Amino acid sequence: MWAVFLLLLLPPVASVPSPSRPTPRYCRRCCDHLDPPLSPASQPAANPTPEIHTFINMTILKGDKGERGDRGTPGKAGVDGPLGLRGVTGPKGSKGDTGAPGDPCKIQQSSFSVGRRKALHSADHYQALIFDTVFVNLGEHFNMFKGKFYCFIPGVYFFNINIHTWNFKETYLHLMHNERPQVILYTQPSDRSIMQSQSVMLSLELNDEVWVRLYKRQRDNAIYSDDVDVYITFNGHLVAPKV
């Protein structure tokens, strides 16, 4: 009887968990009953395998520096910018070397020297003094048929006239620039003849004329010469061409 009573007091053996195997506990959610049961294959593994990412350090793969390439084609020119302000005037430079002599062919020249061997008496009209002897006539600028110098190189010219007076006769000449008298050569009647001269410088333009005019008859007016010697001369030359 006592033995039965003791058995009833002892707890069942199956209900006592083994100390070596703890009972697993699972977390459950309120909605777990709605999810389908997990298959053994879909259950997460206890120790998942970590993913491996390969990393390559490119700095250790850098090669040597290559050679410089060819120069590329120049691009188009850009738009011109606005004009800048004028800079400060710099110091005066040193004197340069003397240049080479110029070409003689390019030097402008004009000159003449003519003479007359015949005497001339005044008439009722003005007379251009015609010359019959040529000493110099560069470029043929002096017209021997008209007794006139024609300007082919504008500039400043020097002119000179020399005559021999006649005894007891008046000498009255004008040096003409185109149709305008510029200077006069005059001597009064005298019992002896003399050499007389007149000079002038004139500024001439292209095609201007310079000539000598014997005044018309009011009194006995003449210049002397003979067929042997030259007493009458007319000269001129370019002093400076027009700039």
Residue-level pLDDT at 145: 94
Contact by Cβ (8 Å): 232, 196: no
Q: Which residues contact 208 (CB under 8 A, 6 or more apart)?
A: 150, 151, 177, 178
Q: Give the DSSP letter of residue 137.
A: E
Residue-level pLDDT at 15: 46
CA distance 50 to 149: 120
Low-confidence ranges of the chain (pLDDT < 50): 4, 7, 13-17
Residue-level pLDDT at 116: 93
How many CA atoms lie less than 13 Å away from 64 in the CB half-sphere?
Answer: 3
CA distance 181 to 8: 177
pTM equals 0.56
Q: Produce one character per residue of 76-109: b if its CB has 16 or more CB atoms within 10 Å, e if not.
A: eeeeeeeeeeeeeeeeeeeeeeeeeeeeeeeeee
Q: Which residues contact 108 (CB under 8 A, 6 or more apart)?
A: 153, 155, 238, 241
CA distance 184 to 123: 18
